[in-house]
Amino acid sequence: MTFLPMAASGGEVPVVEPIAATGAFSLMWLLIALPLAGAVVLLLGGRATDRWGHLLGTATSFASFGLGVYLFVEMLGLGEEERQHGLRLFDWITAGSFTVGFDLLLDPLSILFVLLITGVGSLIHLYSIGYMAHDERRRRFFAYLNLFVAAMLMLVLAGDFLGVFLGWEGVGLASYLLIGFWQHKPSAAAAAKKAFVINRVGDMGLSLAIMLMFVTFGTSSFAGVSAVAGEASETTLTIIGLLLLLGACGKSAQVPLQAWLLDAMEGPTPVSALIHAATMVTAGVYLVVRANFIFENAPVAQTVVVVVACVTLIWGAVIGCARDDIKKVLAGSTMSQIGYMMLGAGLGVAGYAYAIFHLITHGFFKANMFLGAGSVMHGMDDEVDMRRYGALRRAMPVTFITFGLGYLAIIGFPFFSGFFSKDRIIETALLENPVAGVAALIGAGVTGFYMTRLMLMTYFTNKRWAEQAHPHESPAVMTVPLVVLATLSVVGGVLILGDWIKYWLAPVVGEAEEHSTPVPPIVFSIVITVVVAIGVALAVFLVGRRDVPREAPSDVSPLTRAARADLYGDAINEGLVVGPGRVLVESVTVTDAKVVDGLVEGTSYGIGGLSGRLRRFQNGFVRSYAAAVLLGVLLVVGALLVVTLA
């Protein structure tokens, strides 16, 4: 059985037709402006804002969340056809008759992202007050957090692909500033640079896709492109789709542009939570789902999305099985879970809603676990190696319970949020593309293994603390966000009740036709749960029933060695991109130095040498000039004699 191009899964592709925003919806620009204003004040205010900067940064994020909730409630009271609101702030680019407006779009898809970004982002801000309490640059850190939130809101609220690109680049800048926030550490500076450079590769894909849209459709607005996308050739749409996917791979750390994600853990832990749960890595999923009118008309590109997703969800899960750094295990987990979301998006109309559903629930439990990891580090003197943990459940009971609830959600324990969201993607994949479904099912089993391994090595097994370590629970300003996120990790599955999220997103992504299935849904759930249970049991047998050594054993299998090296992602990039690129640059340098410079400088030296020799005849002595004239006369007379005698 092989991957084959898939047709759309039934249903029509919706056309984006926003109505002019009025009333409360005309305030949507404030969603971006509030955190952006906070960033500006904190960056330009300087040391004068040090004492209260963290409070201002947190307040602006919560204010944006409050406005988002208000707009969401307003939207709930509208009919399905009235839930897409467009707002033009000003004409952005004008060239003759061609105009690009600075347009915002608030619809059922973007409002869900607004709530996730501002809601989870605000909790991360609150947590950071305690986590960064002793950092002398805390005010600047909160400015960067505000900038990150504002850029991501710009990305999801833009009504035009060009506006998306503006937010896209803003997210890239903010991630660079936050990953490298502790730039005094060479590893942090290198990680920030690596993330920035790899993401520029993906950004080239997005920028080229937008250019091709301009050439093909004469516009890059969602409304304009969606209205005429079906009229373009499949080849053109496939190229646009693949370029958009390249951009998505960069931001969402999908193979082959995944190598930056684990290094990004060098930033403060709240940064990791923000990147992985609410902002950066979700951008790629948003882009594919938002561009559904492109992918639904380009089945080859849609299939490539599925292939990339399946490879990535297995890739990240395998990495999580062998890493000992708690944050890097969670980073590998994010790579894998984003793969599930991309898989849902690649399945077309049948999977778009479930991709977004899992994105939201993942935002809850992954933010919970990253902040939980930060709480563990806070109580363990910033130790990240799980081999130096063990038996922390009694020393840090709140962190343990909240983290444990996130663990149950991510492995898909029955009736927790991940059980509803991830299982729906696996079920849909098994029905739409069995090969992808089997890959997703295997990934679920591996997820059960590596997450159980993390829980056992951190909170159970033998105590392996350093003598100077005194683990303790974090302050309330850090544990309250954990409690809220843990609660959401448990109850987040309510979004699937009555297939609410499918109907909510239908105006944006379409609604799949209902097909009878040969297998009852309960059977899928049982099979998936059994596979996860096998992974959990293996972890208990291999890790939980043995003493964990404080040093990682060196006599390991080649697969374990490869997983510890992130499946040689850096080596692959070095061999395929960095190495050849370096050779190309060195070749160009040599050609420039030896050939181009040699030609220019050689000509200069030649003319200079010839001039030096001619200069000897211009010595200023009359006798030399007379001798030269006499020699010339003799040569002319001699030539005449030769001609005459001949």
* Cβ pair 247, 205 in contact under 8 A: yes
Tokens of 536: 């959990």
Q: Which amino acid is at 101?
A: G
Share of the chain above pLDDT 90, in %: 76
> What CA–CA distances, in Å, run from 412 to 312, 399, 407, 441, 637?
19, 20, 9, 12, 109
> What CA–CA distances, in Å, run from 303 to 333, 341, 347, 433, 435?
23, 14, 8, 10, 12
For residue 153, how many other CB atoms are within 10 A of its CB? 29
> Could you read off the pLDDT of 591-637 as tens digits, one per residue?
777 787 778 878 888 887 777 776 766 667 777 777 778 888 888 88
Tell the burial category of 347 from Cβ atoms under 10 Å away from its Cβ (0-12, 13-18, 19+): buried
> How many whole angstroms separate alpha carbon 420 and alpha carbon 572?
36
Most confident of the ranges 35-39, 255-259, 514-518: 35-39
Round the CA-based radius of gyration of the chain to a whole number and report it: 31
> How many whole angstroms separate alpha carbon 51 and alpha carbon 182?
20
> How many whole angstroms separate alpha carbon 636 and alpha carbon 21?
96
> Could you read off the pLDDT of 234-273 as tens digits, one per residue?
999 999 999 999 999 999 999 999 999 999 999 999 999 9
> How many whole angstroms separate alpha carbon 286 and alpha carbon 153?
12
Among residues 484, 502, 511, the alpha carbon closest in space to that of 112 is found at: 502
* Neighbouring residues of 382: CB distance < 8 A, sequence distance ≥ 6: none
> What CA–CA distances, in Å, run from 298 to 15, 240, 250?
16, 9, 21
* Cβ pair 409, 365 in contact under 8 A: yes
> How many whole angstroms separate alpha carbon 213 and alpha carbon 229?
10
* Cβ pair 148, 139 in contact under 8 A: no
Question: To 10 degrees, what angle do helices 521-539 and 434-459 make?
Answer: 40
> Is pLDDT at 368 greater than 90 in this prediction?
yes
* Cβ pair 278, 153 in contact under 8 A: no
> Order of strands across the sheet with 98-106?
19-20, 85-95, 98-106
For residue 563, how many other CB atoms are within 10 A of its CB? 22
Q: Report the pLDDT averaged over residues 205-228.
A: 95
> Is pLDDT at 576 greater than 80 in this prediction?
no
> Could you read off the pLDDT of 435-462 as tens digits, one per residue?
999 999 999 999 999 999 999 999 999 9
> Is pLDDT at 509 greater than 70 in this prediction?
yes
> What φ, ψ does residue 99 adopt, rounded to 5°?
-135, 135
Q: How many alpha carbons fall within 13 Å on the CB side of residue 178?
A: 30
* Cβ pair 378, 478 in contact under 8 A: yes
Mean pLDDT of the chain: 92
Q: Report the pLDDT averaged over residues 71-90.
A: 95
Tokens of 9: 């899964």
Share of the chain above pLDDT 70, in %: 96
Q: Which residue has the tokens 């020799």?
A: 613
Tokens of 45: 């205010």
> How many whole angstroms separate alpha carbon 572 and alpha carbon 582?
14
> Is pLDDT at 412 greater than 80 in this prediction?
yes
- Provide the 8-state DSSP code for 414: T
> How many whole angstroms separate alpha carbon 625 and alpha carbon 627?
5
Tokens of 452: 């159980």
Torsion of CA 465, 469, 472, 478, to 10 degrees: -100
Q: How confident is the model at residue 290 (pLDDT cuts 50, 70, 90)?
A: very high
Q: Report the sign of the C-alpha dihedral through residues 509, 511, 516, 521, in that order.
A: positive
Q: How confident is the model at residue 512 (pLDDT cuts 50, 70, 90)?
A: confident
> How many whole angstroms separate alpha carbon 295 and alpha carbon 300?
8
Q: Max CA-CA distance within the chain?
A: 123
Number of helical H runs and strand E runs in the chain: 26, 3
> Is pLDDT at 338 greater than 50 in this prediction?
yes
> How many whole angstroms separate alpha carbon 461 and alpha carbon 438?
33
Tokens of 99: 């105009």
Strands 85-95 vs 19-20: parallel, antiparallel or unpaired: parallel
Q: How many alpha carbons fall within 13 Å on the CB side of residue 157?
A: 30
> What CA–CA distances, in Å, run from 525 to 412, 424, 530?
10, 9, 9
> How many whole angstroms separate alpha carbon 235 and alpha carbon 633?
80
> What CA–CA distances, in Å, run from 442 to 180, 288, 435, 565?
35, 24, 11, 21
- Report the residue count for the chain: 646
Q: What is the Cα 255 distance to its own chain's centre?
A: 12
